Protein backbone atom coordinates (compact mmCIF):
# COMPACT_ATOMS: atom_id res chain seq x y z
CA UNK A 1 0.00 0.00 0.00
CA UNK A 2 2.83 2.42 0.78
CA UNK A 3 4.59 1.72 -2.54
CA UNK A 4 1.38 2.45 -4.45
CA UNK A 5 0.98 5.79 -2.69
CA UNK A 6 4.62 6.63 -3.41
CA UNK A 7 4.30 5.78 -7.12
CA UNK A 8 0.96 7.59 -7.40
CA UNK A 9 2.41 10.59 -5.60
CA UNK A 10 5.39 10.75 -7.94
CA UNK A 11 3.07 10.66 -10.98
CA UNK A 12 0.93 13.45 -9.54
CA UNK A 13 4.00 15.53 -8.69
CA UNK A 14 5.40 15.01 -12.17
CA UNK A 15 2.08 15.97 -13.75
CA UNK A 16 1.73 19.08 -11.60
CA UNK A 17 5.35 20.01 -12.13
CA UNK A 18 4.99 19.87 -15.90
CA UNK A 19 1.78 21.90 -15.72
CA UNK A 20 3.37 24.54 -13.53
CA UNK A 21 6.68 24.82 -15.39
CA UNK A 22 6.24 25.14 -19.17
CA UNK A 23 8.93 23.67 -21.37
CA UNK A 24 11.16 26.10 -23.22
CA UNK A 25 11.97 25.29 -26.83
CA UNK A 26 15.17 26.32 -28.56
CA UNK A 27 14.43 28.19 -31.76
CA UNK A 28 17.82 27.95 -33.46
CA UNK A 29 20.47 25.33 -33.96
CA UNK A 30 24.20 25.97 -34.26
CA UNK A 31 25.76 24.14 -37.18
CA UNK A 32 29.47 23.59 -37.69
CA UNK A 33 31.44 21.44 -40.10
CA UNK A 34 35.08 20.36 -39.96
CA UNK A 35 35.81 21.17 -43.62
CA UNK A 36 35.31 24.30 -45.71
CA UNK A 37 32.49 24.75 -48.20
CA UNK A 38 33.44 24.66 -51.90
CA UNK A 39 34.02 27.96 -53.73
CA UNK A 40 30.79 29.80 -54.52
CA UNK A 41 29.32 29.53 -58.00
CA UNK A 42 29.18 32.62 -60.15
CA UNK A 43 25.60 33.75 -60.62
CA UNK A 44 24.82 36.86 -62.64
CA UNK A 45 22.55 39.17 -60.66
CA UNK A 46 19.32 39.71 -62.57
CA UNK A 47 17.81 43.12 -63.20
CA UNK A 48 16.64 44.77 -59.97
CA UNK A 49 12.95 44.52 -59.16
CA UNK A 50 11.17 47.25 -57.22
CA UNK A 51 10.02 45.99 -53.81
CA UNK A 52 12.29 42.93 -53.88
CA UNK A 53 15.79 42.12 -52.58
CA UNK A 54 18.19 39.74 -54.35
CA UNK A 55 19.60 36.99 -52.11
CA UNK A 56 22.79 35.61 -53.69
CA UNK A 57 23.31 31.86 -53.90
CA UNK A 58 25.12 30.11 -51.05
CA UNK A 59 26.22 26.68 -49.87
CA UNK A 60 23.70 25.07 -47.54
CA UNK A 61 24.10 21.89 -45.51
CA UNK A 62 21.79 18.92 -45.94
CA UNK A 63 22.17 15.14 -45.55
CA UNK A 64 25.78 15.46 -44.32
CA UNK A 65 26.94 17.34 -47.42
CA UNK A 66 27.09 20.84 -48.86
CA UNK A 67 24.47 21.67 -51.49
CA UNK A 68 24.11 24.80 -53.59
CA UNK A 69 21.07 27.00 -52.94
CA UNK A 70 20.57 29.22 -56.01
CA UNK A 71 20.06 32.96 -55.67
CA UNK A 72 16.51 34.25 -55.52
CA UNK A 73 14.41 37.31 -54.76
CA UNK A 74 12.64 37.93 -51.44
CA UNK A 75 10.06 40.62 -50.80
CA UNK A 76 11.60 43.76 -49.27
CA UNK A 77 10.74 44.78 -45.68
CA UNK A 78 10.95 48.52 -44.98
CA UNK A 79 13.21 49.32 -42.02
CA UNK A 80 15.10 46.03 -42.26
CA UNK A 81 18.30 44.86 -43.95
CA UNK A 82 18.65 41.35 -45.37
CA UNK A 83 21.82 39.48 -44.39
CA UNK A 84 22.57 36.56 -46.70
CA UNK A 85 23.44 33.17 -45.18
CA UNK A 86 27.18 32.57 -44.93
CA UNK A 87 29.92 30.37 -43.48
CA UNK A 88 32.74 31.62 -41.27
CA UNK A 89 35.81 29.90 -39.89
CA UNK A 90 36.71 29.76 -36.20
CA UNK A 91 39.13 27.36 -34.53
CA UNK A 92 39.40 25.02 -37.50
CA UNK A 93 35.64 24.63 -37.85
CA UNK A 94 33.21 26.26 -40.26
CA UNK A 95 30.06 27.70 -38.75
CA UNK A 96 26.85 28.47 -40.60
CA UNK A 97 25.34 31.92 -40.03
CA UNK A 98 21.65 31.92 -40.85
CA UNK A 99 20.46 34.64 -43.17
CA UNK A 100 17.42 36.74 -42.57
CA UNK A 101 16.02 40.15 -41.88
CA UNK A 102 17.58 42.29 -39.19
CA UNK A 103 16.44 45.69 -38.05
CA UNK A 104 18.43 48.49 -39.59
CA UNK A 105 20.44 50.35 -36.94
CA UNK A 106 22.97 52.76 -38.48
CA UNK A 107 24.45 54.10 -35.23
CA UNK A 108 24.42 50.69 -33.48
CA UNK A 109 22.80 52.03 -30.33
CA UNK A 110 20.34 49.12 -30.13
CA UNK A 111 17.35 51.14 -31.32
CA UNK A 112 16.17 50.37 -34.88
CA UNK A 113 16.21 53.41 -37.14
CA UNK A 114 12.43 53.34 -37.55
CA UNK A 115 12.06 53.97 -33.76
CA UNK A 116 15.16 56.14 -33.22
CA UNK A 117 14.61 59.93 -33.02
CA UNK A 118 18.27 60.49 -33.93
CA UNK A 119 19.30 57.46 -36.04
CA UNK A 120 22.74 58.79 -36.97
CA UNK A 121 23.99 59.92 -33.56
CA UNK A 122 24.25 57.44 -30.67
CA UNK A 123 25.01 60.16 -28.09
CA UNK A 124 22.02 62.41 -28.70
CA UNK A 125 18.74 61.46 -27.00
Question: In this model, does residue 21 exceed pLDDT 70?
Answer: no
pLDDT at 10: 53
Which pTM does this prediction carry?
A: 0.59
Smallest Cα–Cα separation from 98: which of 51, 58, 47? 58
Q: Please tell me the total number of residues recorded for the chain in this structure.
A: 125
Where are the domains positioned within the chain? 29-103
DSSP conformation letters of 26-68:
P-----EESSPPPPPPP-PPPPP-TTEEEE--EEEEETTEEEE
Confidence of residue 118 (pLDDT cuts 50, 70, 90): confident
Q: Is the pLDDT of residue 49 over 70?
A: yes
Amino acid sequence: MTIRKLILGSFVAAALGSAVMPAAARTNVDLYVNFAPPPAYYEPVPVARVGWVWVPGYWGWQNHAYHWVPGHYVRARPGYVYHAPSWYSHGGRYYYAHGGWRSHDVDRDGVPNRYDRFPHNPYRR
